[in-house]
Chains A and B, each alone.
Chain A
Amino acid sequence: MDEAPSAVEAGGDGKPAKARLDNSESLTSNSSERKQAVLETFGRYRDTLDAHHDQRERVIKCSRDITALSKKMIFALLRVTQDPPESVFKDVQVKHDKVLELFRKMSADLQGSDAAKYNRQATPALQEYIEAIGLWRFLEHNQLISKQQVEETLAASNIALVTDEDYLLGIGDLPGEVNRYCINAIGKNDHEAVHRCLAFMRQLKDGVSLVMSSCGSKDLRKKAEVLDSSLGKTEMAYYSMSVREREFAQKSH
């Protein structure tokens, strides 16, 4: 219990404070000395704060570039209904390599405790990237990408931390893209694809609503609303297609 008062004594710079104050002769010189010491100390604090802000800026810049390139990956992937899949996936692979290069650059500022420190700046990039490779995985393998798969891909770029929020918010954006793909597939009369989209989105919706009760993220709530509307659009599109088909079937009888 008597440790704290002794900390008071131990915390001094050795000189008794009283003597400093009582001796008015040396007060002025002490004062300028003291001011010098304050300036030196705060100069060091400034360097620390500047280094922190610089690091933050670097992450933001990298994050923006990754987001932009991931969006390009998504657009390229959506061309899969027009172009031969092999050439689409090859093109996406090239973009993906570039994204991984950018992640490697960003990872220098996201080591250890810094991953969480700058997560707010890095998360837009992670989310967009997860959305892109999630769409890729769905189109190529009809699978929902797992967090582990994301982590394994990013480990190559030395990115150690993908938070559950990053992952969830990333795959939460998938329905919007899947819906786009689905509308294109309807245009091509590709029933199998439309059916796959619908099944995928329904499972995503169920999954997300399962997690909603446990995750307080406001962003997730917003994404869940968008998910519902994407699913609604897809169901309506599928419905119109079915109606038309029945109608045609009837007429051709």
Chain B
Amino acid sequence: MDHQIFIDLQDRFDRESELFEGIKAQTKELDRACRLASAQLSKAHSLPRDRAKEVADAVGPQFVAIRDNIGRLAALVTPATFYKLQGMWANALQTACALVVFAVYLAEARLATPEDVGAYLGCKVNTGNQEIAEFVVTLEEYLHGVISLFSELSRLAVNSVIVGDVQRPQEISTFASELYSGFQLLNLKNDSLRRRFDSIKYEVKKIEEVLYDLRVRRLTA
């Protein structure tokens, strides 16, 4: 018995921690690009509905930056190491998904599909449970992104009244409750998705309160 076994292990661990550093740095870049896009999309809260698409379209360059960052991140990862490392960027990708979901909602008042997310982020969403052959956005990350839309929607319901649009909250409410019924189909385990899911009802309630305020004062039809 000699120390060679341990020296080899040490080498591999050292190489692995270099990889960790690289991924951490790249994830930070991605996070930064996401924050920039998020700030731009937030403008939609202070503008009337007919300018929503304009806001969404203007974020194009930021999405290119996000996509480039995801591409560089993906280059560091192989299918075999993907799930070991995934926790390192999961949060950043959830944010990126949330941005796509919000942008598509602003532009077209519909739910962004996994295909939309794939087109924006330049990497596929794995909606099945099969093994992967490339860097993917996981279904959980996509769903986290969709859940984030609820808080944007409840803010949007409040803010559309501020800019004088009393019809929009009704549409937002319909959309949100349709989406909520989708989430209620999922059998969630006691994980982070479950905790986020539990918060949806409060956002839905907030939207309903806006509707109530408008109706009780006969401000909507």
Q: Restricting to B68-93, which residues have a CB under 8 Å from any CB of A?
A: 79-84
Instruction: Please measure, in the bound complex, the distance between the C-alpha atom of A43 and the C-alpha atom of B181, giving whole angstroms.
Output: 11
- Asked if residues A35 and B60 are in contact (CB atoms below 8 Å), the reply is no
Chain B nearest CB: distance from A236 CB in Å? 23
Residues of A within 8 A of B214 (CB): none
Residues of A within 8 A of B17 (CB): 214, 216
Query: Which of B1, B10, B80, B116 has the most CB atoms of chain A within a 10 A radius of its CB?
Result: B1
Chain A nearest CB: distance from B220 CB in Å? 13
Q: Mark A35-50, 1 if CB is under 8 A from B, else 0.
A: 1001101111110111
A81 at the interface (CB under 8 A from B): no
Name the segment of A93-101, A113-121, A182-190 touching the other chain: A113-121
Interface size on A, residues (CB 8 A): 61
- Asked if residues A45 and B186 are in contact (CB atoms below 8 Å), the reply is yes
Instruction: Please measure, in the bound complex, the distance between the C-alpha atom of A214 and the C-alpha atom of B9, giving whole angstroms.
Output: 9
- Asked if residues B186 and A35 are in contact (CB atoms below 8 Å), the reply is no
A155 at the interface (CB under 8 A from B): no
Instruction: Please measure, in the bound complex, the distance between the C-alpha atom of A5 and the C-alpha atom of B56, giving whole angstroms.
Output: 8
> SS class of chain B's interface: helix, strand, loop or mixed?
helix
B127 at the interface (CB under 8 A from A): yes
- Asked if residues B84 and A116 are in contact (CB atoms below 8 Å), the reply is yes
Residues of A within 8 A of B10 (CB): 210-211, 213-214
With A7-B120, A11-B113 given, is the CB distance from A17 to B108 under 8 Å? yes
Q: Can you name the residue of chain B whose Cβ is closest to the Cβ of A167?
A: B9
Instruction: Please measure, in the bound complex, the distance between the C-alpha atom of A38 and the C-alpha atom of B176, giving whole angstroms.
Output: 11
- Asked if residues A211 and B182 are in contact (CB atoms below 8 Å), the reply is no
A219 at the interface (CB under 8 A from B): no
B202 at the interface (CB under 8 A from A): no
Pairs of residues from A and B, 6 with the lowest C-beta to C-beta distance, nearest first: A42-B182, A207-B6, A4-B63, A214-B13, A117-B83, A112-B131
Please list 20 pairs of residues, one from A and one from B, whose beta carbons are closer than 8 Å in the complex, sorted by A's number.
Answer: A1-B61, A3-B64, A4-B67, A8-B57, A8-B103, A11-B120, A12-B110, A17-B107, A17-B108, A31-B174, A31-B178, A35-B178, A38-B181, A45-B139, A113-B133, A114-B83, A167-B9, A207-B3, A213-B10, A214-B17
